């Protein structure tokens, strides 16, 4: 099929920053894109061939977009799966498939899936209600501390809480959830796997994630991870096993823990471009966004190797600021070699909202990490 400078149309469900960065690649290739998002202010309103406002959970909205395009993809998992199933049954190509999305969209299902496929993951128990969990904490069959996760709708640290004492349960919402054993780990790692429609498969190098202690958001993504080669190899092998089990098309970001004993446990996955791959825009031969487009269009996959060491710093709204965004000191970080800011196009900031990221590239990882720290301490996302 001719995708380039042609009548071919790619549909994208979701118009946030991931979609916006995908559009950079579709524009590079001159591929037409139709995007739908609930917000009229969505970052994808600029850059798409056509932009529609509508709910991603509304059956008819998803059907209408699907009927106008040749291939449909997502930049967020929370979409109407019944509509995607209808479209797929009618012969529309949907990547990742609704079947894959069903397996991934519920964290309880995800954990069950790992157990069924002998994929190493932290021990857990699943509960249909908060009351059922409370009962088991009270009778001692679930011991604190543990990690509570809502099975649906969590993102960027929302829907995840460390329960250290029984009283912590009183602050949690009434919803289906899992209680996961707290694992003492050395590192949080991630591997992005790309798989094309014909089954060609490649993995990106292992990255290491440094987290904000309070917000449970990633502060730095470091590529390559500063880990032993044998651990790196094991992480990539497990990521491939997960990818093959899900049989996805497109990208699959596999987040993992490296335990104190250098075991690798799968935490969770995302079937789309992911925060842990943003470094690739500047540091890799093929960015994750270009790779996603290549994979779903069944084009040859690009080289996943890095040209240089890359570190990504998330730009999130400062605490105490809400309103029209101001990127304070952005010109100071732009004066530093190897520093590239990416601004997502959200006009309103609020505490911990993801507003952009900065990539730092350097031949020398130690130097890159120093610059990342400097960037983090210099730029502030505030309001007028």
Please report, in range form, the residues annotated as the binding site for ATP.
107, 149, 180-183, 188, 267-268
Residue 297, token pair as written in the block: 């269009």
Hey, which bits of 167-308 come out as E strands?
Answer: 177-181, 185-195, 201-203, 207-211, 218-223, 250-259, 264-270
Starting at the edge strand found earlier in the chain, the sheet holding 177-181 runs 124-127, 177-181, 146-150, 160-163
Residues in the chain: 384
Q: CA 112, CA 166: separation in Å to the nearest integer?
A: 26
Q: What is the DSSP letter of 44?
A: G
Cα–Cα distances in Å, from 346 out to 43, 52, 316, 330, 355? 7, 17, 11, 16, 6
From 83, 98, 115, select the one nearest 245 (Cα to Cα). Answer: 115
| Residues 6+ positions from 22 with CB-CB distance below 8 Å | 12, 33, 75, 273, 289, 292, 293
Q: What is d(CA 44, CA 33) in angstroms, rounded to the nearest whole number?
A: 10
User: Beta strands 160-163 and 146-150: pairing type?
Assistant: antiparallel
Annotated binding site: 107, 149, 180-183, 188, 267-268
> To which H or E segment does residue 131 belong?
helix 130-138
Which positions ≥6 away from 349 have C-beta within 8 Å? 317, 318, 321, 322, 323, 324, 325, 355, 381, 382, 383
Peptide bond just before 145 cis, omega within 30 deg: yes
d(CA 126, CA 176) in angstroms, rounded, equals: 8
Other residues' Cβ atoms within 10 Å of the Cβ of residue 46: 11
Burial tier of 333 (Cβ tally within 10 Å: 0-12, 13-18, 19+)? buried
Distance CA 221, CA 206 (A): 10
């Amino acid at each position: 099929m001719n995708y380039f400078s042609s009548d071919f149309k790619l549909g994208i469900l979701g118009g946030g920053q991931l979609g916006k960065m995908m559009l950079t690649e579709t524009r590079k290739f001159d591929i037409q894109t139709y995007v739908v998002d609930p917000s009229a202010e969505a970052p994808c309103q600029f850059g798409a061939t056509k932009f529609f406002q509508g709910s991603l959970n509304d059956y008819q909205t998803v059907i209408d977009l699907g009927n106008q395009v040749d291939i449909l993809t997502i930049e967020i998992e929370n979409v109407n799966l019944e509509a995607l199933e209808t479209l797929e049954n009618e012969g529309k190509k949907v990547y990742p498939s609704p079947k894959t999305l069903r397996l991934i969209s519920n964290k309880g299902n995800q954990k069950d899936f790992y157990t069924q496929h002998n994929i190493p993951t932290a021990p857990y128990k699943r509960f249909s209600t908060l009351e059922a969990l409370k009962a088991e904490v009270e009778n001692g069959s679930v011991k604190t501390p543990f990690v509570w996760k809502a099975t649906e709708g969590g993102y960027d640290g929302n829907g995840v809480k460390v329960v250290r004492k029984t009283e912590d349960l009183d602050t949690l919402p009434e919803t289906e959830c899992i209680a996961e054993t707290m694992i003492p780990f050395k590192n949080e790692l991630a591997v992005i796997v790309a798989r094309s429609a014909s089954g060609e498969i490649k993995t990106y190098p292992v990255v290491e994630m440094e987290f904000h202690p309070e917000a449970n958001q990633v502060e730095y993504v470091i590529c390559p991870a500063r880990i032993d080669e044998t651990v790196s190899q094991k992480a990539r092998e497990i990521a491939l096993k997960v990818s093959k089990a899900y049989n996805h098309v497109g990208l699959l970001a596999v987040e993992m823990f490296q335990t104190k004993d250098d075991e690798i446990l799968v935490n969770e996955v995302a079937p789309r471009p992911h925060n842990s791959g943003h470094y690739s825009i500047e540091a890799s031969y093929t960015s994750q966004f270009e790779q996603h487009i290549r994979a779903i269009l069944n084009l040859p996959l690009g080289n996943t190797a890095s040209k240089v060491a890359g570190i990504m710093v998330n730009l999130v709204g400062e605490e105490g600021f809400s309103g029209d965004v101001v990127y304070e000191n952005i010109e100071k970080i732009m004066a530093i070699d190897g520093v590239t800011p990416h601004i997502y196009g959200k006009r309103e900031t609020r505490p911990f909202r993801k507003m952009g990221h900065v990539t730092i590239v350097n031949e020398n990882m130690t130097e890159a990490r120093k610059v990342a720290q400097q960037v983090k301490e210099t730029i502030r996302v505030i309001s007028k």
